[in-house]
Structures are given as C-alpha cells and as structure tokens.
Amino acid sequence: MAYSQAQQFDVKELVHNHTSLVKKTALHLMGMTGSTVSLDDLIQSGLVGLLEAARRYDGRGLAGFRKFAQLRIRGAMIDQLRAIDGRPRSFREGSRDIRKAIKTLEGRLGRAPREREIAEELGVEIHEYQQMLIEGNISHIVSLEDLVAGSDGVSYQQPSENHEEKGLQGSVLASALGQLSEREQLLLNLYYEYELNMKEVAQVLEVTEARVCQLHRQALMQLKTILQAGKDREV
C-alpha cells in the first residue's frame, strides 16, 4: 500500500512540475493550424496527455520524462484537432495532388521544387496553391522524427535509447533537410529545434503567420517526398 501511495505522489509531482509544457505546446499548435478550437480546450486535452504520461512513465529521469510528456501532450492535442477537422474530401484529395506534383517535379528537376513551380504543375494560380496549403495544415501535423519513421501521425513511444539508430535517423533527416531552400531549413529549425511558435517564426522571417503556415506545410511535404524517394532507392 505504501508503494502505491508513493507512486501516486510521484504522478502528482510530475504533473505539477510540467504543466507549463501544456500551454507552451497548445500555443505552438494553434499558431501552426490556425484552428478555431479554443486555447482552453487544447490545454484541457494536453493536461489529459500529461496525466497519462505521468502514469505510464517508467522513471528514467526527469529529462527523459520531459521528452516523453511532450509527445503525449502533443499527441492528445492533435487527436482533438483532427477530431473536429470536418473538411470535405476535396481537401484531402488536394493534399494528395500536391504530394504527387512535388514528387514529379523533384524527379524532373533533381531538387526540391519552388512554390511557383508546384503551382504551375498543379495548373493553379500561386494564391490558389497557397490557400490549399493553409487548408491542409491540421491533417499534416507531424514531427520531423515522424517523417523519418514514415508516419503521418505522432509517435507516442518514448525516444529510442539505441544511439546507433538515433544517429542514423539524424543523418538521414539532415541529408533531406539539406535539399530544401535555406528559408525552409531555417523555418523548420526555428519551429522544431528551438520550439518557437508561428508568430515568433514569422517575426524572424519577416512574413505573416499565414505565410509561415504555408511554407511550413510545403517544407514538410517536400521532406516526406525526399525521404520516401530515398527509401524507394534502397529497395
């Protein structure tokens, strides 16, 4: 019984000491999706994720818990965003068309295509293509690690302890990132590595938040295509 009480105390302490992660993650995601869901609703979902993380954590140190909790919090919020994503099928088809256009252009050009080139391949005006990018943000919320793993969703597993595997994934991702434009590389670095929200990234790049959302999604779709092409060559 004493052991159970000690475990319960640890869970409460973990939750109490990491609640700031919840609001930070909520602001991070709201800036990227432009969603109409309220900040309070996202925070509530995140708190559920944090509590689940605290209950499931196996006790490998506070540094390990922070990363584990971030994945759970983010995953819970993304689940809610996707649950309220009532967009018609045409939007999902538009996403597939963009990925197909990027893949075609990368094969033809031997590099990541520019925005105008993608629009021309799709047969739409540049402003129409940019609107397609904004409309698809919720369904393409992923982490860079998820792209390496070949997943469209968010991994709920603890970070790998296999240093060789982590090193390989890091080198694969670095190679793919190197094929993007300097601005796209900077954007992804600011958002994922330094955890700036979209407003902060927009200030650094001196563009609007809507423009950051467009560039963010385009960069992720290009990365996914590059990584998939690399896997296909290995087969």
Looking at the structure of the chain, the number of domains it has is 2
Domain of 43, in residue numbers: 2-83
Same domain, 97 and 32: no
CATH number at residue 64: 1.10.1740.10
Q: Are 123 and 47 in contact (CB under 8 A)?
A: no
- CA distances (Å), 234 to each of 50, 162, 220, 226, in order? 38, 22, 21, 13
Could you say which of 59, 83, 107 is where a domain stops? 83
Report residue 33 CA to chain centroid gap.
Answer: 11
Lowest mean pLDDT among 29-38, 58-67, 83-92, 132-141: 83-92
Same domain, 102 and 198: yes
pLDDT in tens, 166-190: 444 567 778 888 888 899 999 988 8
Q: Give the separation between CA 158 and CA 140, rounded to whole angstroms.
A: 21
User: Whose CA is closest to 128, among 136, 117, 119?
Assistant: 119
Same domain, 96 and 57: no
Q: Give the separation between CA 15 and CA 122, rounded to whole angstroms.
A: 47
User: Whose CA is closest to 222, among 139, 144, 153?
Assistant: 144
Same domain, 106 and 12: no
Same domain, 47 and 142: no
Same domain, 97 and 79: no
Same domain, 98 and 78: no
CATH number at residue 144: 1.20.140
pLDDT in tens, 78-132: 888 777 655 555 555 677 788 889 889 988 988 888 889 999 999 999 888 888 8
- Residue carrying the six token digits 């009480």: 5
Q: Give the separation between CA 183 and CA 164, rounded to whole angstroms.
A: 30
Q: What's the whole-model pTM score? A: 0.60
Residue type, 108: R
Same domain, 79 and 95: no
Q: Give the separation between CA 111 and CA 130, rounded to whole angstroms.
A: 20
User: Whose CA is closest to 161, among 9, 45, 58?
Assistant: 58
pLDDT band at 48 (very low <50, low <70, confident <90, very high): very high
Same domain, 75 and 141: no
Same domain, 18 and 123: no
